Amino acid sequence: MTSKKLLPEKTGDMSDWYTTLIQLADLADYGPVKGTMIFKPYGYAIWEQVQKTLDKSIKEKGVENVYFPMFIPMSFLEKEKSHVEGFAPELAVVTHGGGEKLQEPVVVRPTSETIMYSSFSKWVHSWRDLPILINQWGSVVRWEKRTMPFIRTSEFLWQEGHTAHATHEEAKAMQEWAMKTYSDLYKEYFAMSGYVGYKSKAETFAGADTTLSYETMMPSGKVLQSCTSHDLGQNFAKAFDVKFQDQNSIDTYVWQTSWGLSTRSIGGLILAHGDNNGLRLPPKLAPVQIAIVPVRAEDKMLDYCKEISDVLTSINVRVKTDARGDSSFGFRLNRWEVKGAPLIFKIGEKEVEAQTITVKRRDTQEEVTLDRKNLVDDVKKLLDEIQSTMLLQSKTFIEENTREAKNYDEFKKILAEHKGYIKVYWNDNPDIEKKIKEETKAKSSCSPIDWPEGNGVDFFTGEPATRQWLFAQSY
């Protein structure tokens, strides 16, 4: 950044605040090809924290990592009808390779169902070959018209899990395991509350029977689909002929799932927790959990900073001392405020002499003084407190912004006054959803899995309805 722009206030649709903050906090930059982005070290380091945690959960479940080619023959996509309809408008197509025109154009993967399941058909023969449990870390390409860094880019990073099972029950359990793993990750690490629920017919993944999603709400009141887990039924199995001989020697199609969480999650993190002063990162995902900022680069202060830093590093706290000579104390404090370090340590002569540390909590802006002697215990306690405070804020915000509507008039009135979630009884119907979206810009978010059925009235048609849904405007 040459000329650092000031951070605008986080109000309205917050797009100016958002894009300015991404640059100021050194998270990302725009790529030269329209809609692409560059993950700078600080932004990528957040993703590495996510990867480390999620990869561990995935491996513990017995899912193994693989890597499939990024190039998929166009003909593969065409095998599953609704899949190709869903993805065709967003494909990047390679027509030339090695100086020659290709005989068959290939697409850069928008997702890997088709290329993976073509292999599954070769790998699976008997019930003993099942389940197949694989996962891939990589990038995918969906050529988007309207883009927004992290939230929607032409190329993004993600993991995609793909499994094949002998029974539908097993596949359903896998779909649910993936969503449970994701929602735990969002709550415990991102400190982001949300609803787990089924997507409407119109919003279900192209080729799936059902899609589970984690739906979070941003301070603008718009919601973000934060990751998805699909029950693919036997749709792809039939398209790609993935069959096995069961224990009675009968040929049966496998039951499949796929599930993914992407760098979009980091966009959600920025939007959900950032404030007028910059980022606020939850301790469990912050690349730098504590920024140690000495007033000046004097030996006495630097020694004290090093001592503190060594103690904290030894208990695996991620610490960075910022004594960069080209910037003032105030500038350096502000740098870590903008970058959202959960704790900022201010170290001056006073602190060195008294063997204390002046600490700023980034989440609440409170300042406290710690005793050097109790440093380890106090730091652990503070980081835990910040993590849980941020989750509680998120939970409260969503609860306060979930409102009920009995009919379409109430629905429109709430939308005009509040945004946020609107809870309604509704009979899932794609034509009606389309109409609502055209009229209000809101669409269904999900039907939460832990909401029981009831005897209600469809808010749009007035007919009897048993399932409750959340509607909202969304990213």
Q: Which two tokens stand for residue 45?
A: 């380091």
Nearer to its own copies, 145 or 201 (CB): 145
Please report whether residue 121 would count as binding its own copies according to CB under 8 A.
Answer: no
Which one of 65-73, 204-212, 234-242, 424-432 is the stretch in contact with its own copies (CB under 8 A)? 65-73
Binding mask of the shown chain, residues 66 to 95, with x at each position contacting its own copies by CB under 8 A: xxxxxxxx--x-----------xxxxxxxx
Among 12, 15, 64, 330, binds its own copies (CB under 8 A): 64
Among 106, 166, 261, 391, binds its own copies (CB under 8 A): 106
CA separation for the pair 385, 390 (Å, rounded): 9
Among 40, 372, 395, 413, binds its own copies (CB under 8 A): 40
Segment holding 448, helix H or strand E: strand 443-448
Which one of 119-127, 303-311, 423-431, 442-450 is the stretch in contact with its own copies (CB under 8 A)? 119-127
Among 38, 297, 368, 376, binds its own copies (CB under 8 A): 38
Please report whether residue 456 would count as binding its own copies according to CB under 8 A.
Answer: no
Is there a contact between 224 and 423 (Cβ–Cβ < 8 Å)? Answer: no
Nearer to its own copies, 286 or 352 (CB): 286
Which residue, among 72, 107, 92, has the nearest Cα to 143 in the 3D structure?
Answer: 92
Please report whether residue 141 would count as binding its own copies according to CB under 8 A.
Answer: yes
Using CB under 8 A as the binding rule, the residues of this chain from 272 to 301 that contact its own copies are: none
CA angle 273, 161, 282 (to 5 degrees): 15
CA angle 157, 161, 167 (to 5 degrees): 160
Nearer to its own copies, 197 or 294 (CB): 294
Nearer to its own copies, 104 or 417 (CB): 104
At residue 454, what are phi and psi to the nearest 5 degrees? -145, 180
Is there a contact between 121 and 238 (Cβ–Cβ < 8 Å)? Answer: no
At residue 416, what are phi and psi to the nearest 5 degrees? -70, -35
Nearer to its own copies, 158 or 471 (CB): 158
Residue 399: C-alpha distances to residues 34, 199, 394 (Å): 38, 20, 9
Among 8, 19, 31, 82, binds its own copies (CB under 8 A): 31
Binding mask of the shown chain, residues 198 to 237, with x at each position contacting its own copies by CB under 8 A: ----------------------------------------
Question: Which residues are registered as beta bridge partners of 278?
Answer: 275
Please report whether residue 33 would count as binding its own copies according to CB under 8 A.
Answer: yes
Nearer to its own copies, 65 or 328 (CB): 65
Using CB under 8 A as the binding rule, the residues of this chain from 315 to 374 that contact its own copies are: 324-326
Min dist. Cβ of residue 141 to its own copies (A) = 8
Nearer to its own copies, 76 or 471 (CB): 76
Strands of the sheet containing 319-321, edge to edge, are 319-321, 290-294, 343-347, 356-361, 367-371
Please report whether residue 32 would count as binding its own copies according to CB under 8 A.
Answer: yes
Please report whether residue 20 would count as binding its own copies according to CB under 8 A.
Answer: no
Q: Three-class SS string for 194-246? A: CEEEECCHHHCCCCCCEEEEEEEECCCCCEEEEEEEEEEECHHHHHHCCEEEC
Among 19, 20, 45, 429, binds its own copies (CB under 8 A): 45
CA angle 474, 411, 475 (to 5 degrees): 5
CA separation for the pair 41, 288 (Å, rounded): 12
Provide the 10 A C-beta neighbour count for residue 185: 22
Residues that bind its own copies (CB under 8 A): 2, 29, 31-33, 36-41, 44-45, 47-48, 64-73, 76, 88-99, 106, 108, 115, 118-119, 122, 125-126, 128, 134, 138-139, 141, 143-145, 154-155, 157, 324-326
